[in-house]
């Protein structure tokens, strides 16, 4: 089993050298944070990861949740971890002091979430889901809801969930059928089914609190008729004791991976006694949910990067120890075998993983920083950060998710047959990461979001801000001789992206919306590669700045980082060429296919 | 559960319209076969797949082999299936009449193997491995070996294996350490360990017969010192009764997928009483093995295509039934939802799967046809077929394997969250197919084989023959107006391939072998895409020929096929552009990375 699952040096470099998180700490809002305290927080996160999370990583996979007597039984250590997350202040870390939180920068919190995901992704989601749910209550809920729910959830005693999906409403949330009927007692009666609810039921917290989308009777069809409710499994009764709230767990899914977390099916109101409490105003449920969506989607990206990082470290450890073969020019079969890391193709596979992981991690930290900046800035600067975050979110969610499947598969390939066996953790990493292109909005949905909404919103202003940032990085890189060629490559890539975007928007202008969006997923793929190239150029600049004064011990790291940057530009970025060709083609192949063409 | 796992119409079209297998049957060697008998054979294969294989597909995954009391226990139905395979003549189907076989064309046999793999890949390997092993005995073994082993193996009573890999000798077979010491009694004493032996031990046949590589004491180091032995688990004693041959099963691997087949660890000679019988001459073991290697590698490709096909059919079935969302231009949320197959992105995912599967299946049938042609031809024509098959084998093995991972992952994505749960078979397909880029020579090894050996062998003659065939297809396609644009695309792709090949060979000529081969895997990827584009153009020609006289019932199929061909040229072929850019780059990024650059 691998004992390392992320690089501390790379994480610190990304936070401080690439994204200068220290400058952020100068803001009043974060004035209790310093470089030293951030280092301590990361050290604490690592300790938790090593001591509490990784030891049960494989065990949780091999003993997945079981549905027994109408409830889901999960690993016993989940209770300890939720308590630890509550007591350590992790669940409320990013909340303001007034909300009982620690006002931790999201960029720093995300760095810790990356560590947790790399150690044991399934375990890491229990507190994170609780954070998301209680955040909705604290942001939009009444004082009564806050008082009733927030303390237990923040303490890790009650699990929080986001309950959106239904059997007939997955990607199409407008089709949610769960109903809410107002009673005379301020609460609503909830009736309906939910499915695929992460941590939607389990036995390791005293309660499960669902932040649930439902349609108030008489509300309009579609997403505009959805309201947000607090629907606990057990409701606090008049005496304060918990009473069953008619939220019935109907089963759990047995999954390919991500098996430490229970994904529940729920049925509300079987005895017609499921009570829900409205959060905020009626019919604004999806809007509220979506105000948390950017952060949830960064979370998915982070999870994928964390898993990929762990797989990489397992592959790297194997590659430097496993002896197999000799240099291809060595004909003497009596010479000792060499570690496989000496073979070009193995180095290629390791570098590709690093190019994906370190590029994506940089984007994740940057996205967290935008959340922080939007928080401390005001006026135009605040709006700028928000628009930029909105714009990059589809890439933040999708690039690590889709490429995480590729990256973990490469980790398996580095180990050959051993990688396919469960004696090594890499096969689990590939199974675990495969959920990420699906949950919190599939890749297809993200593509539509980017091309159909983000590119054109505010008359292209968000896209403009994004391109300005990329061009700023290109200009900064040109100051270094060693980076000039890569700055040029990114600049050329941006030209292609503008060309493709222009051509597609031209189709939209003609009113051919079907054709405009038919290849949105490929547009997202192309955009994602360029976005990561941008992050790599930022890293290249940081390397060049750090090299002259670098300690001997850091030179290998910096040189390795620079080689990985080159790898991205040499091996990954050229993929946009084929995507460009396709995206500029006039042949709407997929639209020409009808269901009858698939039958035979 | 999906009830269909392959398309009969497409298989027949590929065999008869695209590759004109009927013309092959005119050869004397195959004169007992006709179009009608081939149809019957395929019908029989389908019946076996539906009745005996698919029903235990999921069950075998959920109840994988267990190592108990020094043996591996597998699913009880394996015995029935081996008997059925023996009684039905499947194990010996491709052998000559003199060898007790049916002289079945390999192209037809492969079509059946494709069906079996699509129904239950793990189960399909037990007889196939036996065929491979007994084929070695029949081709290179003594009469005594043939008489002792072949009848039991052909009857499916004894399992055959290929025992090459050792703990320290996976990709580097020259490092095999298992030894063979000649005794006075004509047999050798075998001592050593083998690992990752498929079907290397189980309890559903009466014996396990290993075709094993070992080094005779005093033999040279490396691959030139390896000899091939028959090493049975139980040896026929003087009385005819079976005696234990000191082949000890030390365990089995628990794997990500492909869980119905046991992968064993073996230890020979723990009591110093493991006997092996030499096959053919000493020191020619690897050469013998490699004479079977092309067919084994076609088998891997076929397995991957079969699994991908089954995943596609499950995804297609789901996509046409699952209602979710509306056309993107439909704003009325009260309108009924549509089947997701109506969405462009779902059609894209289905078409991509079909483009991969049908393209690869065509290549598999073609490869089988080359085996057949080489068998019935003589002189230059025979050599031509052999060289061509040698040349395309790395692509035949790798394209379906690598793209099978992509294709099955797309099948999961079509099902969203359901695809990630084991209520649907697609997640198993993705786990099952992931072995294919590893076994029978990893993708990295295939890349080195193509670029380092096949491209330049016989002074480039094999490559030349291949390009002639591709250019022949281009010329044939130009006769059809509808195909002209695609013929041009393939012709341009060949120009790029020649450019890249020329540049790489130029590096080799300068003696920079490390750099020549550093990106061999990418060269193989580029070559594979072009190879499949060629197969698609052949299919396009077959469609154009069939359309004018097509029955109404066949038009949808033919039009769908043509759309899928367009999809390949529009979405898959452009990927070579980025690969070309990388392969022509002067920057040997991977060679510049040393192990120290990975440490931090």
A440 a catalytic residue: yes
DSSP state of A276: E
pLDDT in tens, chain B (600 residues): 447 999 999 999 999 999 999 999 999 999 999 999 999 999 999 999 999 999 999 999 999 999 999 999 999 999 999 999 999 999 999 999 999 999 999 999 999 999 999 999 999 999 999 999 999 999 999 999 999 999 999 999 999 999 999 999 999 999 999 999 999 999 999 999 999 999 999 999 999 999 999 999 999 999 999 999 999 999 998 888 999 999 999 999 999 999 999 999 999 999 999 999 999 999 999 999 988 888 899 999 999 999 999 999 999 999 999 999 999 888 898 999 999 999 999 999 999 999 999 999 999 999 999 999 999 999 999 999 999 999 999 999 999 999 999 999 999 999 999 999 999 999 999 999 999 999 999 999 999 999 999 999 999 999 999 999 999 999 999 999 999 999 999 999 999 999 999 999 999 999 999 999 999 999 999 999 999 999 999 999 999 999 999 998 899 999 999 999 999 999 999 999 999 999 999 999 999 999 999 987
Interchain contact B344–A (C-beta under 8 A): yes
* Window 146-185 of A, Cβ < 8 Å to B: 165, 168-172, 174-175
- Report the C-alpha gap between B257 and B430 in whole angstroms: 8
pLDDT at A79: 98
**Quick check: B590 and A351 CB within 8 A?**
yes
Residue pair A312/A357 in contact (Cβ under 8 Å)? The answer is: yes
Nearest CA in chain A to B316: A598
Q: Choosing from B317, B402, B427, B440, which is the catalytic residue?
A: B440
Reported as a pLDDT band with limits 50, 70 and 90, residue A253 is very high
Nearest CA in chain B to A316: B598
Identify which of A253, A333, A570 has the shortest CB distance to residue B421: A253
User: Which residues in chain B have their CB less than 8 angstroms from residue A421's CB?
Assistant: 253-256, 263
- Report the C-alpha gap between A160 and A200 in whole angstroms: 8
H/E stretch holding A97 reads none
Interchain contact A329–B (C-beta under 8 A): yes
Interchain contact A409–B (C-beta under 8 A): yes
Question: What digits encode the pLDDT tens for the residues A132-172?
Answer: 999 999 999 999 999 999 999 999 999 999 999 999 999 99
User: Which residues in chain B have their CB less than 8 angstroms from residue A581's CB?
Assistant: 574, 577
pLDDT at B2: 45
Question: What digits encode the pLDDT tens for the residues B552-592?
Answer: 889 999 999 999 999 999 999 999 999 999 999 999 999 99
Question: What digits encode the pLDDT tens for the residues A86-101?
Answer: 999 999 999 999 999 9
Interchain contact B343–A (C-beta under 8 A): yes
H/E stretch holding B69 reads none
How far is CA A442 from each of CA A33, B414, B415, rounded to the nearest angstrom?
36, 10, 11
Residue A482: strand, helix, or coil: helix
**Quick check: A327 and B514 CB within 8 A?**
yes
* Window 180-219 of A, Cβ < 8 Å to B: 195-196
Residue pair B112/B53 in contact (Cβ under 8 Å)? The answer is: no
Interchain contact B586–A (C-beta under 8 A): no
- Report the C-alpha gap between B168 and A322 in whole angstroms: 9
| Average pLDDT of chain A to the nearest whole number | 96
Q: First CA to last CA across chain A, in angstroms?
A: 48
Side-chain half-sphere CA neighbours of A382 within 13 A: 6
* Window 350-389 of A, Cβ < 8 Å to B: 350-351, 354
SS in 3 state form for B526-548?
A: HHHHHHHHHHHHHHHHHHHHHHH
User: Which residues in chain A have their CB less than 8 angstroms from residue B255's CB?
Assistant: 420-422, 427
Question: What digits encode the pLDDT tens for the residues A382-420?
Answer: 999 999 999 999 999 999 999 999 999 999 999 999 999
Interchain contact B519–A (C-beta under 8 A): yes
Reported as a pLDDT band with limits 50, 70 and 90, residue A2 is very low
**Quick check: A559 and B326 CB within 8 A?**
no
- Report the C-alpha gap between A545 and A532 in whole angstroms: 20
* Window 27-66 of B, Cβ < 8 Å to A: none
Q: What is the mean pLDDT of residues A364-377?
A: 96
Query: Is the pLDDT reported for residue A600 higher than 80?
Result: no
- Report the C-alpha gap between B129 and A66 in whole angstroms: 38
Question: What digits encode the pLDDT tens for the residues B404-419?
Answer: 999 999 999 999 999 9
* Window 531-570 of B, Cβ < 8 Å to A: 556-557, 559-560, 563, 566-567, 570
DSSP per residue, A338-391: -BGGGSHHHHHHHHHHHHHHHHHHHHHHHHHHHHHHHHH--HHHHHHHHHHHHH
Nearest to A598, CA basis, from A590, B278, B166: A590
Say how many C-beta atoms besides its own lie within 10 A of residue B514's C-beta.
15
List own/partner pairs for A284-287 with CB under 8 A and 24 or more apart: A284/A227, A284/A228, A285/A213, A285/A214, A285/A226, A285/A227, A285/A228, A285/A229, A286/A173, A286/A213, A286/A223, A286/A224, A286/A226
Identify which of B221, B343, B517 has the shortest CB distance to residue A334: B221
Interchain contact A343–B (C-beta under 8 A): yes
Query: Is the pLDDT reported for residue A1 higher than 50?
Result: no
Residue ranges of domains in chain B, CATH in brackets: 8-63+77-140 (1.10.540.10), 158-283 (2.40.110.10), 292-584 (1.20.140.10)
DSSP state of B189: E
| B186 Rama sector, left if φ>0, alpha if ψ -120 to 50, beta otherwise | left
**Quick check: B222 and A333 CB within 8 A?**
yes
Q: What is the mean pLDDT of residues A213-218?
A: 97
**Quick check: A339 and B595 CB within 8 A?**
yes
Identify which of A337, A409, A592 has the shortest CB distance to residue B563: A592
**Quick check: B413 and A443 CB within 8 A?**
yes
Q: Choosing from A440, A482, A512, A577, which is the catalytic residue?
A: A440
pLDDT at B465: 98
Closest chain B C-alpha to A374 CA, distance in angstroms: 32
Closest chain B C-alpha to A257 CA, distance in angstroms: 8
pLDDT at B329: 86
pLDDT at B599: 80
* Window 387-406 of A, Cβ < 8 Å to B: 405
Say how many C-beta atoms besides its own lie within 10 A of residue A506's C-beta.
11
Q: Where are the beta strands (DSSP E) in A453-599?
A: none
Closest chain A C-alpha to B164 CA, distance in angstroms: 13
**Quick check: B333 and A174 CB within 8 A?**
yes
* Window 431-450 of B, Cβ < 8 Å to A: 431, 434-435, 437-439, 442-444, 447-448
Rounded CA Rg of chain B:
24
Nearest CA in chain B to A409: B434
Residue A281: strand, helix, or coil: coil
- Report the C-alpha gap between A530 and A396 in whole angstroms: 12
Instruction: Please name the residues in contact with A519: beta carbons below 8 A apart, sequence gap of 6 or more.
Output: A582, A583, A590, B344, B348
Residue B207: strand, helix, or coil: strand
Identify which of B171, B325, B345 has the shortest CB distance to residue A324: B171
In a mutational test of the A interface, the residue from B539, B593, B596 whose CB has the highest number of chain A CBs within 10 Å is B593
User: Which residues in chain A have their CB less than 8 angstroms from residue B437's CB?
Assistant: 413
Interchain contact A489–B (C-beta under 8 A): no
Interchain contact A508–B (C-beta under 8 A): no
């Amino acid at each position: 089993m691998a004992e390392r699952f992320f690089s501390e040096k790379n994480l610190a470099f990304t936070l401080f050298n690439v994204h200068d998180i220290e400058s952020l700490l100068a803001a009043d809002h974060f004035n209790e944070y310093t470089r030293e305290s951030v280092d301590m927080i990361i050290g604490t996160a690592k300790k938790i990861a090593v001591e509490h999370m990784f030891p049960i990583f494989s065990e949780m996979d091999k003993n997945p949740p079981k549905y027994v007597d109408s409830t889901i039984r999960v690993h016993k250590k989940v209770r300890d971890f939720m308590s630890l997350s509550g007591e350590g202040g992790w669940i409320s870390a990013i909340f303001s002091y007034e909300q009982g939180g620690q006002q931790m920068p999201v960029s720093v919190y995300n760095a810790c979430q990356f560590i947790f995901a790399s150690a044991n992704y399934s375990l890491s989601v229990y507190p994170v889901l609780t954070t998301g749910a209680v955040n909705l209550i604290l942001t939009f809920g009444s004082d009564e809801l806050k008082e009733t729910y927030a303390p237990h959830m923040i303490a890790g005693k009650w699990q929080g969930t986001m309950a959106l999906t239904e059997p007939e409403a997955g990607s199409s949330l407008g089709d949610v059928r769960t109903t809410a009927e107002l009673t005379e007692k301020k609460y609503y009666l909830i009736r309906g089914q939910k499915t695929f609810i992460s941590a939607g039921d389990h036995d390791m917290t005293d309660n499960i609190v669902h932040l649930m989308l439902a349609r108030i009777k008489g509300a309009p069809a579609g997403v505009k008729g959805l309201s947000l409710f607090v629907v606990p499994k057990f409701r606090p009764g008049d005496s304060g004791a918990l009473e069953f709230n008619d939220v019935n767990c109907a089963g759990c899914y047995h999954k390919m991976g991500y098996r430490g977390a229970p994904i529940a099916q729920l049925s509300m109101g079987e005895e017609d006694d499921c009570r829900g409490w409205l959060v905020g105003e009626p019919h604004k449920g999806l809007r509220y949910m979506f105000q948390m969506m950017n952060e949830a989607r960064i979370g998915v990206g982070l999870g994928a990067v964390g898993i990929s990082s762990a797989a990489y470290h397992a592959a790297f450890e194997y590659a430097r120890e496993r002896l197999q073969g000799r240099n291809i020019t060595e004909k003497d079969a009596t010479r000792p075998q060499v570690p496989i890391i000496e073979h070009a193709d193995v180095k290629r596979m390791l570098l590709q993983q690093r190019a994906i992981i370190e590029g994506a991690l940089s984007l994740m930290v940057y996205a967290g920083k935008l959340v922080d900046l939007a928080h401390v800035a005001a006026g135009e600067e605040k709006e700028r950060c928000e628009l930029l975050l909105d714009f990059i979110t589809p890439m933040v969610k999708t690039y690590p998710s889709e490429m995480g499947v590729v990256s973990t598969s490469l980790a398996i390939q580095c180990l050959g047959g051993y990688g396919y066996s469960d004696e090594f953790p890499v096969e689990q990493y590939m199974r675990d990461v495969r959920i990420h292109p699906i949950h919190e909005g599939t890749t297809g949905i993200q593509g539509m979001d980017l091309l159909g909404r983000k590119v054109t919103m505010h008359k292209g202003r968000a896209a403009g801000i994004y391109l300005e940032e990329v061009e700023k990085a290109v200009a900064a890189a040109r100051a270094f001789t060693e980076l000039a060629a890569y700055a040029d490559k990114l600049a050329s890539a941006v030209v292609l992206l503008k060309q493709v975007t222009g051509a597609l928007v031209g189709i939209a202008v003609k009113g051919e919306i079907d054709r405009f969006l038919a290849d949105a997923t490929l547009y997202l793929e192309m955009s994602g590669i360029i976005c990561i190239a941008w992050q790599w150029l930022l890293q290249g600049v940081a390397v060049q700045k750090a090299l002259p004064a670098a300690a001997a011990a850091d030179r290998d790291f910096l040189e390795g980082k620079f080689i990985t940057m080159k790898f991205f530009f040499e091996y990954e970025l050229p993929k946009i060429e084929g995507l460009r060709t396709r995206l500029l083609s006039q042949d709407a192949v997929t639209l020409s296919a009808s269901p009858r063409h698939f039958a035979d």
